Copies of this chain bind each other. A is one copy, B any other.
Amino acid sequence: MFSIGQLSKRTGVKIPTIRYYEQMGLIDEPERSEGNQRRYTKDGLSRLSFIRHSRDLGFSVEDIRGLLDLSQHPEKPCSDAHSIAAQHLQDVQSRITKLRRLERELKRITKCDAGNVATCAVIETLADHGLCETEH
> What are 27 A-B contacts defined by CB distance under 8 Å?
A49-B127, A53-B125, A53-B129, A56-B129, A57-B105, A57-B136, A58-B102, A67-B122, A67-B123, A70-B123, A71-B123, A74-B117, A75-B117, A76-B117, A77-B115, A78-B115, A78-B116, A81-B120, A81-B122, A81-B123, A82-B122, A85-B122, A88-B106, A89-B106, A92-B99, A92-B102, A92-B103
- Looking at chain A's contact residues, the main secondary structure is helix
Complex contact B112–A103 (CB within 8 A) = no
Q: Distance in Å from the Cβ of A69 to the closest Cβ of chain B?
A: 10
Q: Distance in Å from the Cβ of A120 to the closest Cβ of chain B?
A: 4
Q: A57-B136, A102-B57, A109-B85 are in contact. Are A123 and B92 (CB under 8 A)?
A: no
Give the residues in chain B near A116, CB-CB below 8 Å.
74-78
Give the residues in chain B near A76, CB-CB below 8 Å.
116-117
* Chain A residues at the B interface, C-beta cutoff of 8 Å: 46, 49-50, 53-54, 56-58, 67, 70-71, 73-78, 81-82, 84-86, 88-89, 92-93, 95-96, 99-100, 102-103, 105-107, 109-110, 112, 114-118, 120, 122-123, 125-129, 136
